[in-house]
Amino acid sequence: MNLPIRPRRNRKNAALRALVRETILSPSNFILPLFVMEGKNEKSAIRSMPGVFRVSRDLVVAEAKRARKLGIPAVALFPVIADRKKDKRATESKNRDGLLQKTIRDLKNAVPEIAVITDVAMDPYSSDGHDGLVKSGSILNDETLPILADMALNQARAGADIVAPSDMMDGRVGYIRQALDKSGFTDTGILAYSAKYASAFYGPFREALDSAPKHGDKKTYQMDPANRREALREVKLDVAEGADMVMVKPALPYLDILSDIKTAVDVPVAAYHVSGEYAMIKAAGKLGWLDADKAMMESVLSIKRAGADMILTYAAVELAESLSS
């Protein structure tokens, strides 16, 4: 057949495929999320996230060491707060000797090479289970900002390298930046969860932290999954307010957003491959309906291809292991 152009020639063997590969996934692209709980040498399974555990501080250190050895540069910490410590104003988040603060200090002592990222939002500490302050059923924006700034300061003081506001209140990045700078934390970075959608894919995470909203949903602050242009508006605002990096969340169902943002801003772009995305693949794997390891690698590769410079994924360790073998 007269067919001068044959794309298959570039796929003929593994060597050629390696030569023309456009996206290379590396452990240095990963951020490992970790759930930390009170106790010593304790670990508790999360029903909907096979292979992921809530672990005590000593085991967080062990996990971080393992991650570091595999070339993973950062962890993102999420504390499990006891119900009796939760209140409407997330007061426990100001505790200088809180679970999260102790964990950050442990990590900085034991594994100083790994970057520590902490989440800024009220939900793990709030008796209402919302990211902002609730009054008569509404989530108050401006009244929430000082609470978030105190929380971020308390994380920076303990040694967090990067604080990551995931609350979606308006103006929080600028407010937190100012608060950090005023207290001398000019080197603490901000990774803004800029395009964070009101998603059904956070279910397993909320189970892990027991942090689901007690009333209503998060649709008045998290974005409508139907919207694409609005993500650019959010991202540009956060960059103007001083975000060092921005994030899209969830990841795989939002690759169009990721791709748009990558071309619209010049700061690094992160994507959060969230709990529900992880759970789906693990569940299908358990049922024998697909090869979970391959599907996980393909998902995370696709997230990088779409534009993510870094990816928060619960599969970071298993992916790093398979990339280095």
Residues marked active site are found at 196, 249
Give the residues across from 265 on adjacent strands: none
Query: By C-beta, is 123 or 260 nearer to ligand PBG?
Result: 123
How many other CB atoms are found less than 10 A from the CB of residue 219?
A: 11
Q: What separation in angstroms does the CA of 57 have from each of 175, 217, 244, 311, 313?
A: 30, 31, 28, 23, 20
Applying the rule CB under 6 A, the residues between 114 and 173 that interact with ligand PBG are 119, 121, 123, 131, 166
**Which H or E run contains 306?**
helix 292-306
81 and 92 Cβ atoms separated by less than 8 Å: yes
Query: By C-beta, is 181 or 252 nearer to ligand PBG?
Result: 252
127 and 87 Cβ atoms separated by less than 8 Å: yes
Query: By C-beta, is 58 or 94 nearer to ligand PBG?
Result: 94
Helix, strand or coil, per DSSP, at residue 106:
helix
Query: By C-beta, is 110 or 212 nearer to ligand PBG?
Result: 212
> Counting contacts by CB under 6 A, is residue 202 touching ligand PBG?
yes
Token pair belonging to 108: 């900085």
**Binder to ligand PBG among 274, 279, 296, 315 (CB under 6 A)?**
274
> Which region holds residue 322: left if phi is over 0, alpha if psi is between -120 and 50, else beta?
alpha
Applying the rule CB under 6 A, the residues between 234 and 263 that interact with ligand PBG are none
Q: Judged by CB under 6 A, how many residues of this single chain contact ligand PBG? A: 10
Q: Annotate each residue in 206-235 with x if it binds ligand PBG (CB under 6 A) or - if it does not, as one string.
A: x-----------------------------
**Binder to ligand PBG among 101, 126, 188, 275 (CB under 6 A)?**
275
Residues at the site binding ligand PBG, with contacts judged by CB under 6 A: 119, 121, 123, 131, 166, 202, 205-206, 274-275
